[in-house]
Structure 1
Amino acid sequence: MARTRRRAGVVLGLAGMIVPLTMVMGTGSAQAASCSTKPGPYQKQVEKFLGLKVDGKQSSADCKKILAFQKKHWITPNNGVAGPVTWRTMNTMLAQKAAGSNPNKAGSCPTNKGRIACVDLTRQLSWIQDGKKLAYGPVPIRTGRDGAETRTGLKKIYWRNINHFSSLYKVPMPYAQFFDGGQAFHSVTKPIHSPPGSAGCVNMTPAAAKKYWSMLRNGDEVFVWGKKAGT
């Protein structure tokens, strides 16, 4: 009887060990299935942007491509769904590409001010021009999020600090050039298209911010117009 009990105990012990393994496998399966199989509201637009088959149906390949895009640009939720934030980001990129080398074709930024930094909130683009001549850009930017919008209007750069550190947000702001209260051009290392946006500043890639630093001075004008999608 004692031997029978011991054998039963061993079997029960092994069975107990099997349960956690099953749970781990279940967890892995759940993670693998986390990619949505349902099409998002902007499925066809997103498929076209990513060069996928445009059929409005969500395949595993679609989901993987969408998910990779979301992770690259810090879009949440990053679940592979063709949702509004993902499409908004892509649509902004398309508008930026369409601007080409003539971003001021519509004449929105003044051409009678000499050197001026233009900030187009709608297309999330900025450039520097001398009268009608494009001097630098256009470059993609990241402006204020909903509730902390970058303020529109004609401004002037009034203070510059190449190694500025924000005492308010506790973050570095390299190549900071302030033009409206606490709002400034400055460099960031996060993805330039990452939503929802800044706290009001005009975020730029390090290369663009450095170029702006070299080309602009105190007193140079800045013109901000348009409306960022989602604000």
Structure 2
Amino acid sequence: MRVLLVVATALLAAACAQGGQTAAAGSAPPAPVTSSAAAPSSEPPATTTTTPPPQPAPPPQPVTVAGTPCEITNGACISLSSQQTWLIANGAVTYGPVPITSGRVGYETPPGMFAVQYKVRDEVSREFNNAPMPYSVYFEDGGIAFHEGSLEVPSHGCVHLSHEAAVTYFETLSQGAQVQVVG
């Protein structure tokens, strides 16, 4: 019995040294089992269909704020064609319409979607002979702002407001607020 145990231990050690194969030396590995003839089937072959992952819902269609030509939900709306502006909060008009003057020929106020960048209470235009621009609310990279100004004379691109409206816009609009300018 002791001899058999020694032989079995020696064979096991040799097998481990060869990469874990436990078959006897010189024997071939077992052949894979294959079927020589498949049984006929009356069912069609199974097909695999892949369902694409669900896509996010499309964004909701823009809704024009009642009484304005704009689609923003919070900020200021400007209509160049009617020369009016409104303040909007939570999708409803909170102030306006109030009259404006906008850019004259060659200095047109640009249409588009903007955001308030910064505000300056006692601003002057260095470009136009230190013209006063009180209560300036800048919303466009080219220096376009809401500010108190003439409601009779077109501007050099800014949106002129009455004193009361300029103060209201200055106090209401904060950095990042939406500004939509429509033609």
In the alignment, the residues of structure 2 paired with residue 106 and residue 208 of structure 1 have an alpha-carbon distance, to the nearest angstrom, of 18
What root-mean-square deviation, in Å, do the aligned CA atoms of Structure 1 and Structure 2 show?
Answer: 1.7
Query: Hey, which bits of structure 1, 4+ residues long, moved more than 3 A?
Result: 103-107
TM-score normalised by the chain length of structure 2: 0.61
**Alignment partner for residue 133 of structure 1, among 92, 103, 106?**
92
**Alignment partner for residue 211 of structure 1, among 139, 162, 168?**
168
Aligned length: 118
The match for 2:101 is: 142
Structure 2: segments with no counterpart, 5+ residues: 1-63
Distance 1:204 1:106, change over 3 A: closer
State the SS of the aligned residue for 1:213.
Answer: helix
Q: Which has the higher contact order (CA 8 A, sep 6+)?
A: 2
Indicate yes or no: 2:132 matched with 1:172.
Answer: yes
State the 1:104 CA deviation: 4.8
State the SS of the aligned residue for 2:180.
Answer: strand
In the alignment, the residues of structure 2 paired with residue 187 and residue 213 of structure 1 have an alpha-carbon distance, to the nearest angstrom, of 10
In the alignment, the residues of structure 1 paired with residue 68 and residue 166 of structure 2 have an alpha-carbon distance, to the nearest angstrom, of 24
Looking at secondary structure, tell me which structure has more strand per residue.
2
In the alignment, the residues of structure 2 paired with residue 123 and residue 213 of structure 1 have an alpha-carbon distance, to the nearest angstrom, of 22
8 A contact 2:120–2:137 mirrored in 1: yes
Indicate yes or no: 2:146 matched with 1:185.
Answer: yes
8 A contact 2:68–2:86 mirrored in 1: no
Distance 1:208 1:106, change over 3 A: closer
1:154-182 CA-partner distances (Å, limit 9, x unpaired) = 00110110001111112110000110121
Structure 1: segments with no counterpart, 5+ residues: 1-102, 227-231
Structure index of larger Rg: 2
State the 1:133 CA deviation: 1.3
1:41-89 CA-partner distances (Å, limit 9, x unpaired) = xxxxxxxxxxxxxxxxxxxxxxxxxxxxxxxxxxxxxxxxxxxxxxxxx
In the alignment, the residues of structure 2 paired with residue 168 and residue 106 of structure 1 have an alpha-carbon distance, to the nearest angstrom, of 36
What residue identity is the alignment partner of 1:147? G
Distance 1:107 1:166, change over 3 A: closer
In the alignment, the residues of structure 2 paired with residue 199 and residue 139 of structure 1 have an alpha-carbon distance, to the nearest angstrom, of 19
8 A contact 2:65–2:71 mirrored in 1: no
What residue identity is the alignment partner of 2:71? P
Distance 1:107 1:205, change over 3 A: closer
